[in-house]
Structure 1
């Protein structure tokens, strides 16, 4: 026997012993909990249904407040009025015709005692606010207030707001006078989205609502006497409770059920006292002991017999399989019998005759197929670039622009020298960048100052290699389809990120609709652009695997960003140099 090797006979025997232990444990558990668990499950189901209804009622009110805040957040005219810095009559018109009606409408859109406070960076807008004190006539009505941001710039609740994510970022906190008045606020920024690349904060809006009104449906009486309901935030801090404060340890005497509110990140927890059955323990214990003794004796004898029966047969097959693993495919097994083992023996003998030839045949076939597909994709380079460049050369020669003609011919020769690259598929990254730069130099002769190009290349990528001709087709696609005026800017980024090389081609052109991008990537779009994108995507995946390839993000009217991800693999020259240095 080899070290750490356990024969199958012993494994079968141990498995039967484990089976005995499991059987005894399961019987004990089922018997002991057959009364308790059924009652717990029924109670849990009823409470869970009630909690779901309570959660939905609270969510209805919070969603209503989010909806009202969105009428200000997404209102372009409201945001534009906040940006304008005017005074005098123009400011009065803005206040009376835009800001005050909008805030009054928002504060009275839902039937709760809502206090809307708006804090603004633009100090040309007048402050207007109520003073909330006990007995104040405004304490129990829906009001709105306008403050300057200078009041809260150093406030913890403002500085702790997370980074803005459009339409998502908001927070529920007790701030300012909320704690004293038994209220809670929903806080959300007001942002200017006119420039999608630079979101500007215009201010902050705070919707304050009484806890008793927001959590009106959180009533312990819905669960029964002695129950407790608690609402906690993500950090476990208590926001609201019904039924009195619970004790520190509720695990033993209470049934605990939780229901999360994902958007607000709150947890509604119900504590229900356990007054249901914990009886008949002695009868259950006696039953378990009897089952343990009977099962252990019966299965021990059965396990010894069965493990010995199977271990002899399996050992024969293991010896043949070991021979196959060591490369001896001529070994055969002789078995007498008419059961499944005889069928396994016949199949194993047949497998030994065929497996070696099949392995070589399938392996060579798949390898040749992959190489053929890769070679085919690489030969499908769009020839239109050559035709268009020769046409431009002809036009320059016709008009006698010899300096531009010479420059274009030199760059064309350089482009094809780098593209052909002695027939190699993998080239240094600097060669790929140089090839794309040669292409752009040709295009700059054609477009002049209308074409602006910026490179952002991480020096850490120089030791690595890449598939050739994966940048130029996307640059060509930008120049063909992305113009939105008489100029265009292309930014080419190459960087090393988490063991991968990332290429990005970013333009400020027309942009592409999401449906069209999906059609191009899926093959539904058969035009030249879609075919070229799929061509590069397939080349990358054939070379490196399915986890790499091309992804496209675009916004109509803003521009397009194409990302090509490949693994960071060093060129052989650099790899040998590192080994020698090591």
Structure 2
């Protein structure tokens, strides 16, 4: 129906009645009639197709007539006032109608009328109802379209049929349970009728069968409960006793099981968990001892810097008196380096101070190397809002100078330090144009200890605090140089005095 009323040729022909008659016949014969004949051939339910034109006064071919011929029909007015397909059953004829619009002027230019084969459309219902059950199809005015396996039903009975859900109806003195359902894309309703006596018989059978099944299930369940209590509950009671002893503080309990069922597996896992708890307690105790020793060393380290700073300050003042600015500058860098390195014994440092630390360290290295290499710093100021673990960049820069730039035989060395934001992360990059390294050396640096405070130590500290997704990655090409990338999250440490 839609393929016809929205076809451009149909719309054009119905909207332009004053077009040259020859062109109208040509459009009808070349474009429209082939479509209609094809539809009637492929859709065997169609018996007749007719277009009714609002502006035409005479027939055109076999498929177009004036609307005046059907203006007295009930379906005409209702179809003209609707944009959907309307289904009808009148005088034993089954047909559907739909309006055709003049798109340009947004007016009704005609109506489509399609007659269907009643027996083919309702073939699935006619003569196929279950014994005793009936089928009624009615329109919105409760007029019957189809009646199967149901006795005579007067207009009062038809009007009493519900439009949806389930209801009761009496036909020829017999009571029925009626299930009502809208038929999609039509204005019709399907009523399926089941005699009350069949319904009650079916319910009785269902209740009897249900009672027998429930009885069998109760017997079976009783057997299962007995077996469960004799086997599994004993294991649970034994496990519960062991857990109560652990709850009371006895962590030396030996928990084991020989059975392979779920209770045995649960007992075995509880025993393994208890062993791990004891091991962790031992490790935590040892860690506490180590921590106390480290705190003592940190306390000692707090005493020494005062002497160091005072000594460096004295050297700086004497250098200024004799106008030794180079010595003064070097002393200031050394003082700044040790101030940020010691960091009052704390593990967390602001990125600003870490950046100052590495700048001071590089200036000292430049003095030691007689400025034989160039340095470039590039930092996004936004990274200075965050914090990090201290002494991360210094070992990387030291390796770049000692094992990269110092071994370079030709050309001038160059060291580049960058710091930038990458999404929710902070990325530091240390690049050198030194001798580079082979892939096996990269793996060795990250996985093995080296003399002093090495890259492996830095990697472990980063991943211990931030997780395995953060840390160091190294890209190097032999004879070209090395790039070391440090990735950390945007981190702000809550200081003890603030908490």
TM-score, normalised relative to structure 1: 0.35
* Larger relative strand fraction: 2
Higher RCO (C-alpha under 8 Å, 6+ residues apart): 1
Q: Which has the larger radius of gyration?
A: 2
